[in-house]
């Protein structure tokens, strides 16, 4: 499945990079990560915080369920959760969400509920029930304050650094150069930007331009709004090197840092792949002194983290290090 964003020459001249952070996109993207295992090394603090906050707190569990219900990790979540007006603070963003016109609530929540069993409060929200909308606002504030709050200085700094990097790319190389930098899951094939996506989705910009929104919690591939008639946005992952350094803080020359971060076994698997340059699962297992199932499990985590790449070749799977994996090992050693 592919996302295809069709550019004209005018659109390439009208690419704008949003001033981060976008509070609501970070909220939604991080809620998605809580519902899957992607980026296990990078985002383990977020998942551990969620487990800790909700383990013995029924109200926190209830609020998190509200957000997960409205923003499932699936092929659709409602656009009204991420207004495109460039809100500079959390409260103005929440106000925009809660002010969504009832016809739009009804339409988007109907799409969300298609083929799914939804709790009764979703129907009430679709009717514009003020109590249920207040509950959503409460859930969003709680999640930002308790879940993202401790990480927010790190998030803000990484997003600003990413924006500065991409702004320089845009100034030096123009729009086409910038569109080649939006993550491993994207491909710029002029005049179309393609990305891996859960559904087939085409967006024709037709001279409207596009807003690029860097996101700390966007993983692998960009995200856009479901409604192609809305202001076009491309929410994309920040530079992976920035994400690693800001999230994990591995310092150059700190050999113990990589081991404490990954664990000795996983660090050894990464070191093995880097040393061999390309190897099968069996070869990695033998070289690292592990069983094949154990090596395979660690290789999967490293691949999810963007530290190695893999491809099937007949009955075997070949693995090789990414530049990020190689750099991280050198910095950690």
The DSSP string of 45-61 is HHHHHHHHHHHS-HHHH
Integer Rg of the chain from CA: 21
Write the burial class of residue 164 (CB in 10 Å: 0-12 exposed, 13-18 middle, 19+ buried): exposed
pLDDT tens for the 333 residues of the chain, in order: 899 999 999 999 999 999 989 999 999 999 999 999 887 777 888 898 898 888 888 999 999 999 999 999 999 999 999 997 667 789 999 999 999 999 999 999 999 999 889 999 999 999 999 999 999 999 999 999 999 988 898 899 999 999 999 999 999 999 999 999 997 779 999 999 999 898 999 999 999 999 999 999 998 789 999 998 889 999 999 987 777 666 655 444 444 556 666 777 888 899 889 888 899 999 999 888 888 898 999 999 898 888 899 999 888 999 999 988 887 776 655
Long-range own/partner contacts, residues 180-188 (CB < 8 A, 24 or more apart): 181/239, 182/212, 182/222, 182/234, 182/236, 182/237, 183/220, 183/221, 183/222, 183/236, 183/237, 184/220, 184/306, 185/220, 185/221, 185/222, 186/221, 186/222, 186/236
Rounded (10°) angle between helices 264-276 and 292-304: 80
Q: Is 174 left (phi over 0), alpha (psi -120 to 50) or beta?
A: left
pLDDT at position 191 is 97
pLDDT at position 176 is 96
pLDDT at position 323 is 85
Distance CA 157, CA 246 (A): 8
Distance CA 53, CA 56 (A): 7
pLDDT at position 258 is 63
Burial 249-262 (b: 16+ CB within 10 A, else e): ebeeeeeebbbebb
Distance CA 293, CA 154 (A): 35
pLDDT at position 72 is 96
pLDDT at position 254 is 46
pLDDT at position 260 is 60
Q: Which pTM value belongs to this model?
A: 0.79
pLDDT at position 253 is 41
pLDDT at position 250 is 46
Is residue 235 within 8 A of residue 213, CB to CB? The reply is: yes
CA geometry: angle 158, 210, 206, nearest 5 deg: 165
């Amino acid at each position: 499945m592919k996302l295809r964003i069709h550019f004209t020459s005018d659109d390439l001249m009208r690419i704008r990079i949003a001033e981060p952070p976008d509070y609501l996109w970070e909220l939604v993207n991080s809620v998605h990560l809580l519902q899957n295992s992607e980026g296990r090394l990078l985002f383990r603090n977020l998942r551990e915080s969620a487990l800790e906050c909700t383990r013995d707190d029924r109200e926190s569990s209830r609020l998190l369920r509200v957000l997960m219900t409205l923003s499932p990790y699936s092929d659709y979540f409602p656009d009204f959760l991420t207004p495109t007006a460039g809100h500079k603070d959390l409260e103005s963003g929440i106000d925009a969400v809660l002010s969504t016109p009832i016809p739009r609530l009804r339409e988007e929540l109907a799409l969300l509920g298609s083929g799914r069993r939804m709790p009764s409060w979703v129907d009430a929200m679709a009717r514009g029930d003020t109590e249920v909308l207040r509950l959503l606002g409460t859930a969003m504030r709680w999640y930002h304050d308790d879940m993202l709050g401790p990480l927010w200085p790190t998030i803000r700094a990484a997003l600003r650094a990413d924006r500065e990097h991409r702004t320089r790319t845009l100034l030096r190389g123009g729009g086409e150069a910038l569109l080649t930098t939006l993550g491993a899951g994207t491909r710029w094939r002029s005049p179309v930007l393609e990305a891996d996506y859960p559904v087939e989705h085409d967006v024709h910009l037709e001279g409207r331009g596009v807003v690029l929104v860097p996101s700390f919690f966007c993983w692998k591939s960009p995200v856009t709004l479901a409604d192609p008639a809305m202001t076009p946005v491309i929410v994309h992952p920040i530079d992976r090197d920035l994400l690693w350094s800001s999230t994990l803080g591995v310092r150059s020359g700190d050999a113990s840092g990589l081991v404490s971060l990954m664990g000795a076994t996983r660090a050894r698997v990464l070191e093995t792949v880097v040393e061999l340059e390309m190897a099968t699962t069996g070869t990695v297992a033998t070289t690292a002194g592990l069983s094949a199932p154990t090596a395979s499990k660690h290789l999967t985590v490293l691949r999810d983290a963007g530290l190695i790449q893999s491809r099937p070749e007949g009955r075997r799977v070949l693995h090789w290090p990414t530049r990020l994996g190689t750099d991280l090992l050198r910095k950690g050693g």
